[in-house]
A and B are shown apart, each in its own frame.
Chain A
């Protein structure tokens, strides 16, 4: 007989164990799905999770995909830790990309060391501006940030669509929905000849270090922590709760905006319709899988990035639709939420009495 008992307090060991358990269960369930589809489960999983990163190129691709995920998830962790449910990072990424892309186009065919920093900064500001909308509506008009931030995603995508088809489209581009190529000075430098991994990874690593420092070592981080646990306590301690809310949205908007910059000024080098394969949404999974901790987020972003790559390899070698990647992402979140049940409950196996 199985008996479920409530724990007196969430277990610390389980807290770190459940993400691992979730990944394991995802692999098992994934294997099962492949089996049902008529593939050999182990071979399919190998194509999905090992083949893509077996060589230098694959590893560079892994880091390339993990970079935006990590960056956005770091930003989101500030929001989620303080109970602000910003799920519109995709929109903030898109708007950041629009602003920085616009600035990059201003410097079309110009050279100069100063261009790239301006372009990067523009992206961060764009993301912050876009994130400030749900933040201000939430703090001053009591709207629900989940709805507002989510709906703004579609708004930003339509704005991008309009721009790349209309005013910003490449005059020599045969009406393709894309802008001109940015000048080299407006692009993030590639790190290795022949590989696509670019300097954006340093932005992500910097974000990891800075977020750890801010959250765990500064008064500001302490105030965010307190406000996240209890707004009542924050008010009693004299912290400005509303400002904290707006601040975490700005931080997460800036990170998402930077991720957008990384996409368009890195491998793509121009604005077009599909600049992000839903990194902004997937990063939500990354943030939770990483337990909202900077180091955890690094690992989680690598794991989730594999699903993007694996989906592509699986499509090429096994003719499985690449949307399988999203199935895996969904399963990870699903199993994580499910195994979080163990945080609060113990399962006890009791020998049946006869």
Chain B
């Protein structure tokens, strides 16, 4: 039987951001569809709407001409829509079978029989009675897939399924998906990896900034054309003036490695780069490719080998963030609310987080509140933070104002190098422009910036040099003028 899934004029608005802007799409079984886009393009919102996790503000969903009201994930399941999320929803300490029986209404024996049939059919081999924690990532994913197949779904949605898989597991997955498709299951495959789209899918829908950009057949596309659609044409409208390139090297990273014990973190492999004074080095990449780890290594939250980081002719790889600040480095992390600032604390207390010896915020171990307050007032007026009450808890600041406060705080000491990670993430246009202007100003004062960002437009606008991080490795460093969005898109997707 043919399955037809239709999304009609779906809109979902979050405060300050339109996640899905009037998206309409139609899928038919027998084909594998790719939903392609950068982080924040709106893919995840769309599939969450399809799986009942999010309720759209407007728009309808039709399955075989029936209007679906998906108010919860259970509704999606009832309507034969199966979903495999990027991160597994399995109980690690329970056995595979126990995990599968949890949300099934069937008898133990009949369920076991059913699972055995499914596994035989698709050539899965998983021991049902061992705890899930003993499985590899690929096997865990198969458990999730089996969980969907038990309900014989009409639609199967896979959200970035290969991000945790090895090459071998990936090709196994592709074989299974093709088989499912042949059997009439409609497959929607969400990814930002261009190579996979070309390999696996029949049709591709590209999203950018909440809007559907294009729907086309794979045979009419190639990696370059898709990259272009995904990243968008560069809008270098307020591209900064070309800085006078100095050859005065400020920071040099040599053979920097980081191996994490946490399976959800990315290992950094052999990172090498240098930044000159007055320069902005942009580091592009799809999130989760090691940006956060790179930021932490640069800020000193993760200590590395002493000689791996040379800053202003000092080896500082083994120094803590506080010690690095004394060498005139400053850091603006990605997570404003959980790392860069403490929402429950007052504005001036948050200012004191960037503590320098010369700032005299703390004298002889005592808090020098007057000094901190004086400085906070200055930051608020210099950086246009929209309040005049430094006693305000910072949770009452908007994202843009909080980010201005953070950047302002980091620039108190006029540092030689500012390292920012997604500084405009989630901000409105006005705040974005303000932050961008501030960053350009820093470069004009012959200070340097390392800008780690998942926003390609931002990188193309602000950087003098650009490199791309993929799976913990940096690409070669390119001059920003030579870089096109196409090229970035290809590198971000892991191709050369």
Contact = CB atoms under 8 A, between A and B. Distances in A.
Contacts of B366: 217-219
Contact of A220 (B335, B339, B345, B365): B365
B362 A236 contact: no
9 contacts: A222-B362, A229-B342, A229-B344, A232-B339, A233-B353, A236-B299, A236-B301, A236-B331, A238-B322
A46 interface: no
Interface string A84-106: 00000000000000000000000
A6 interface: no
A319 interface: no
Interface in B358-379: 362, 365-367
A27 B367 CA distance: 42
A129 B301 CA distance: 30
Contacts of B345: 225-226, 229
Contacts of A237: 321-322, 353-355
A220 B362 CA distance: 10
A218 B366 CA distance: 4
Interface string B301-339: 100000000000000000011111100000101010011
Nearest to B319: A238
Interface in B339-356: 339-342, 344-345, 349, 352-355
A236 B321 contact: yes
B318 to A, nearest CB: 13
B300 interface: yes
B425 to A, nearest CB: 16
A64 to B, nearest CB: 35
A239 B354 CA distance: 11
Contact of A218 (B340, B352, B367): B367
Contacts of B249: none
Nearest to B333: A236
B395 interface: yes
A230 to B, nearest CB: 6
A218 B321 contact: no
A229 B344 CA distance: 8
Nearest to B393: A9
B365 A218 contact: yes
A5 to B, nearest CB: 19
Given A218-B367, A236-B301, A230 B325 contact: no
B370 to A, nearest CB: 13
Contacts of A217: 366-367
A229 B341 CA distance: 10
B360 to A, nearest CB: 12
Given A226-B353, A230-B342, A237-B355, 18 more contacts: A218-B366, A218-B367, A219-B362, A219-B365, A219-B366, A219-B367, A225-B345, A226-B345, A232-B338, A232-B339, A233-B338, A233-B340, A236-B301, A236-B331, A236-B333, A236-B339, A236-B340, A238-B324
B349 to A, nearest CB: 8
A40 interface: no
A235 interface: yes
Contacts of B339: 230, 232-233, 236
Nearest to B332: A236
Interface of B: 299-301, 320-325, 331, 333, 335, 338-342, 344-345, 349, 352-355, 362, 365-367, 395
Contacts of A222: 349, 352, 362, 367
B358 to A, nearest CB: 15
A219 B362 CA distance: 6
A9 B392 CA distance: 13
A247 to B, nearest CB: 13
A222 B369 CA distance: 11
A238 B342 contact: no
Nearest to A237: B353
B398 to A, nearest CB: 14
A235 B321 contact: yes
Given A232-B335, A233-B340, A233-B341, A238 B321 contact: yes
Nearest to B302: A235
Contacts of B354: 237
Interface in A61-77: none
A225 B331 CA distance: 21
A237 B354 CA distance: 6
Nearest to B352: A222
A235 B338 CA distance: 11
Contacts of A236: 299, 301, 321, 331, 333, 339-340, 353
A1 to B, nearest CB: 23
The 6 closest A-B pairs by CB, nearest first: A238-B322, A238-B321, A219-B362, A232-B339, A229-B342, A237-B353
Contacts of A238: 300, 320-325, 355
A237 B395 CA distance: 19
Contacts of B344: 229
B284 to A, nearest CB: 23
Interface in A179-233: 217-222, 225-226, 229-230, 232-233
Nearest to A213: B366
Contacts of B322: 237-239
A248 B65 CA distance: 63
Given A218-B365, A219-B366, A222-B362, A230 B321 contact: no
A225 B353 CA distance: 11
A215 to B, nearest CB: 11
A214 to B, nearest CB: 10
Nearest to A10: B344
Nearest to B363: A219
Contacts of B324: 238
A219 B344 CA distance: 18
A236 B355 CA distance: 11
B309 to A, nearest CB: 16
A229 B349 CA distance: 13
A240 to B, nearest CB: 8
